[in-house]
Structure formats: structure tokens, C-alpha cells
């Protein structure tokens, strides 16, 4: 799948929804609080989690992520627990239309047991504030964007 396909949506998923969800688990994170970890290896540029459209809202909710102008997702199953990293292994698709759903896809191969991370700064909008980042990656910017 090339990057344009990724930006336009999740494309065709090769696994059932149940299989996709099964490998993601909540565990204590070294970055912050509880994180999401994969129990299986994920390939480069793989769509590994699709977010149900029932979890897309036209106003921000606590712990939600912004995916487009005036669209947010709040997903207590997985997404709300994905921590920020300035050197993330995954990204949240940010463009949706009637035929596509938001998803998480990998930016590189991810090993079984790794924590899933995304760059919050790529999805937050102008209403966000800067808070201190403690992601511990080598290229940490020192801040991340969050809504108050
Ligand atoms: Zn950082």
C-alpha cells in the first residue's frame, strides 16, 4: 500500500476485525500511565487497527484524538490509550469520507511486545496547548500538543 492510499483511508484489511483487535492489549507504559502494546509483529505500513465509525464525533470528548476539521475519535478500547512519541511507530489516518474509516497504520515494522505510539502533534488543531513531552525518544521535541 503506498502512502497516498494510506492518507485516503485504510484500504482493504486482510484480517477480520476480531483478529485485528486481539493482538492489542493494555499494559503499564514506560512513557505514561497505561499504553497499548501489540502481541504480534506488525509489518511496515500495515493497517492494524480500524476505529468503528460509532466512535467518530463532531465535537471533542475527553481523551479523544482529532482526525479532521471538526471530527474527533474517542475509543476507549484502544485509541484513547495510545501514547505520544516524538519518534512514533504508528500514525492515525486523518482523512475520512463516507467510504473510509479512521485507522492506525504502522510507520515501520513493529515487534511483538512493543508499545504502539503516535505523534499527537500531527493530529491536534489550533485549539491545542503545548505540554512538556516525556516520551524519552532521542529526537524528542520537548513538547506535545494536547487539548486542555
Ligand atoms: Zn517527545
Give per-residue pLDDT as tens, 37-54.
Answer: 999 999 999 999 988 888
CATH number of 3-146: 2.170.270.10
Q: How many angstroms separate the alpha carbon of residue 2 from the centre of ligand 1? A: 27
User: Average model confidence (pLDDT) for the chain?
Assistant: 84
Q: How far is the CA of 16 from the centre of ligand 1 (A)?
A: 33
Rounded to whole angstroms, the Cα distance separating 132 from 78 reads 23
- Longest pairwise C-alpha distance within the chain: 39
26 Cα: distance to centroid of ligand 1 (angstroms)? 21
Percent of the chain with pLDDT over 90: 51
pLDDT of residue 99: 63
- Answer whether residue 13 shows pLDDT above 60: no
The secondary structure of 19-69 as a DSSP string is HHHHTEEEEE-SSSSEEEEESS-B-TT-EEEE--GGGEESS--TT-EEEET
Cα 137 to ligand 1 centre (Å): 6
Work out the average pLDDT over 3-27. 60
| pLDDT tens digit sequence for 79-134 | 999 999 999 999 998 666 656 788 999 999 999 999 999 999 888 877 788 999 99
Is residue 117 classed as helix, strand or coil in its secondary structure?
Answer: strand
Tell which residue, 23, 2, 21, has the closest CA to residue 77: 21
Distances in Å between the Cα of 108 and the Cα atoms of 45, 66, 76, 114, 141 are 6, 22, 25, 12, 20
User: Which residue in this structure is represented by grid cell 511496515?
Assistant: 44
Ligand 1 centre from 14 Cα, in Å? 33
In this prediction, residue 17 has a pLDDT band, given cuts at 50, 70 and 90, of low
Nearest residue to 144 via CA among 116, 117, 121, 118? 121
Q: Is the confidence at residue 138, as pLDDT, over 90?
A: yes
Phi then psi for residue 81, to 5 deg, are -100, 0
Domain segments of the chain: what residues? 3-146
Query: If you measure from the C-alpha of residue 13 to the centroid of ligand 1, how many angstroms do you get, rounded to a whole number?
Result: 31
Amino acid at each position: 500500500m503506498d502512502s497516498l492510499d494510506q492518507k485516503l483511508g485504510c484500504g482493504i484489511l486482510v484480517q477480520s476485525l476480531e483478529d485485528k483487535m486481539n493482538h492489542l492489549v493494555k499494559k503499564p507504559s514506560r512513557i505514561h500511565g497505561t499504553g497499548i502494546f501489540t502481541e504480534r509483529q506488525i509489518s511496515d505500513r500495515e493497517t492494524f487497527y480500524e476505529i468503528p465509525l460509532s466512535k467518530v464525533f463532531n465535537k471533542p470528548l475527553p481523551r479523544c484524538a482529532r482526525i479532521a476539521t471538526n471530527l474527533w475519535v474517542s475509543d476507549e478500547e484502544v485509541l484513547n490509550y495510545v501514547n505520544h512519541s516524538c519518534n512514533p511507530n504508528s500514525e492515525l489516518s486523518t482523512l475520512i469520507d463516507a467510504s473510509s474509516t479512521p485507522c492506525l497504520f504502522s510507520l515501520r515494522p513493529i515487534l511483538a511486545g512493543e508499545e504502539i505510539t503516535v505523534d499527537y502533534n500531527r493530529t491536534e488543531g489550533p485549539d491545542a496547548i503545548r505540554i512538556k513531552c516525556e516520551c524519552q525518544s532521542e529526537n524528542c521535541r520537548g513538547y506535545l500538543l494536547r487539548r486542555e
